[in-house]
């Protein structure tokens, strides 16, 4: 006799679908720079400025003779002569979406039954990744260009442009401003010549010696000793973890290093989350949005990239408008909105930054 089988009972015969209310994001969306950088005073103009200053070299070889009057003018100095403005631009970030009336009324699977609410949540997440990638980019600041096709708003300068010791554009267009760049301009970037940037693309994976030289260069240039955050691409994070591996501690060039394993709980730990150096402690923070260009997926440049930032207010976000969802008038076609933010990046002392590219 005939048998109704699962193959023959299709949707035509009334078979139901089983679609759970689950939705998983398949793209990275963690934004540690955006989440951890402090905020400084909100800007009030499209260009936001701050002052930097240097100090003269210590002098003690020609002390004044007791009882001798100073000669007016020649014995006095102008202590504000070397002050300089550094600048960055406000950049607008926005994502917009719309949902038709009928689409909003139908029953859909997922954690949110409202497509409008789901769309707003998605743009909030996406906008944060836009901001994260821009902050961690090599983009140079630029004024708005209404005559371009399409027209382009003002652009902020990203951390890899701020930390470039050879930069001559953007914030470092003027010759005077270049005295305040990250150290290493004109020096071979091999990690051994007193530079705060290591070029992994040219020189290969960073070594422990090169890493220590980079930290020392930052310390000598800025005088900062304390805690740092190193935001790392996945390849760089693996290279730093390998500093502690037995293959590097026993044999090779690092003979004599100790490698201790506590196996009481049966767990082998190979992750490094903090490095203690001669000039302070460094927290390692994974970041998948470093050193990208706009519209680019994670590539080789981002995997090996790293940006070293002191744990203070040297680097801060300046929000003219924090992330905000703005509902727009419904003209009959459906609910519309824009998710928007206006912000800039302040780098008080570029000499305090280190970078790996």
pLDDT tens-digit series, residues 24-33: 777 778 899 9
pTM value > 0.85: yes
* Run of H or E including 33: helix 32-36
For the segment 287-305, the average pLDDT, to the nearest whole number, is 95
* pLDDT score of 189: 47
Residue 101, classed as helix, strand or coil, is helix
Lowest mean pLDDT among 59-63, 148-152, 202-206, 248-252: 248-252
Q: What is the mean pLDDT of the chain?
A: 87
Residues sharing a CB contact under 8 Å with residue 13, sequence separation 6 or more, in sequence order: none
Both structure tokens of 259: 């490698």
- CA 283-287-292 angle, to 5 degrees, is 135
For the segment 321-332, the average pLDDT, to the nearest whole number, is 94
Query: Looking at domain 32-51+83-250+270-356, which of 3.90.1690, 2.40.50, 3.30.1490, 3.10.50 is its CATH number?
Result: 3.90.1690
- The rounded distance, in Å, linking the Cα atoms of 124 and 322 is 11
Burial class (CB in 10 A: 0-12, 13-18, 19+), 348: middle
The alpha helices in 151-305, defined as continuous H runs, are 159-162, 200-203, 208-222, 234-241, 246-249, 300-303
* pLDDT score of 31: 94
pLDDT tens-digit series, residues 174-230: 999 999 999 875 544 454 557 899 999 999 999 988 998 899 888 888 776 678 999
Beta bridge partners of 345: 317
Residues sharing a CB contact under 8 Å with residue 244, sequence separation 6 or more, in sequence order: 259, 272
Decide if 325 contacts 318 (C-beta within 8 A): no
| Domain spans of the chain, in order of start | 32-51+83-250+270-356
- The rounded distance, in Å, linking the Cα atoms of 221 and 346 is 19
| Closest to 308 in 3D by CA, of 239, 219, 244 | 219
For the segment 49-78, the average pLDDT, to the nearest whole number, is 87
Both structure tokens of 236: 């760089």
- The rounded distance, in Å, linking the Cα atoms of 50 and 344 is 12
Beta bridge partners of 328: 336
């Amino acid at each position: 006799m005939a048998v109704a089988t699962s193959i023959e009972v299709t949707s035509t015969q009334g078979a139901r679908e089983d679609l759970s209310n689950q939705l998983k994001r398949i793209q990275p969306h963690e934004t540690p720079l955006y989440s951890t950088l402090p905020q400084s005073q909100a800007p009030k103009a499209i260009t936001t400025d701050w002052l930097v200053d240097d100090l003269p070299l210590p002098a003690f070889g020609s002390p004044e003779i007791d009882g001798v009057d100073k000669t007016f003018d020649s014995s006095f100095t102008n202590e504000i002569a070397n002050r300089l403005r550094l600048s960055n631009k406000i950049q607008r970030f926005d994502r917009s979406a719309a949902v038709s009336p009928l689409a909003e009324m139908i029953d859909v699977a997922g954690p949110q039954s409202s497509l409008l609410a789901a769309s707003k949540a998605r743009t909030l997440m996406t906008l944060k990744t836009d901001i994260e990638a821009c902050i961690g980019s090599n983009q140079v600041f630029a004024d708005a260009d209404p005559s371009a096709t399409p027209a382009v708003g003002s652009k902020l300068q990203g951390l890899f442009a701020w930390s470039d010791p050879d930069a001559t554009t953007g914030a470092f267009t003027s010759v005077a401003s270049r005295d305040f760049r990250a150290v290493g301009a004109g020096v071979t970037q091999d990690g051994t010549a007193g530079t705060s940037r290591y070029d992994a693309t040219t020189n290969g994976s960073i070594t422990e010696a090169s890493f220590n030289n980079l930290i020392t260069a930052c310390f000598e240039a800025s005088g900062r000793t304390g805690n740092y955050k190193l935001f790392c691409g996945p390849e760089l994070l693996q290279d730093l973890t390998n500093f502690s591996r037995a293959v590097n501690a026993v044999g090779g060039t690092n003979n004599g290093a100790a490698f201790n394993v506590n196996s009481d709980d049966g767990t082998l730990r190979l992750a490094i989350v903090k490095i203690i150096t001669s000039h302070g402690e460094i927290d390692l923070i994974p970041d998948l949005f470093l050193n990208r260009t706009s519209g680019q997926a994670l590539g080789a440049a981002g995997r090996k990239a790293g940006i070293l930032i002191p744990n203070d207010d040297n680097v801060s976000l300046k929000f003219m408008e924090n992330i905000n969802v703005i509902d727009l008038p419904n003209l009959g076609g459906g609910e519309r909105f824009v998710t928007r933010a206006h912000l800039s990046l302040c780098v008080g002392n570029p000499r305090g930054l280190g970078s790996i590219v």
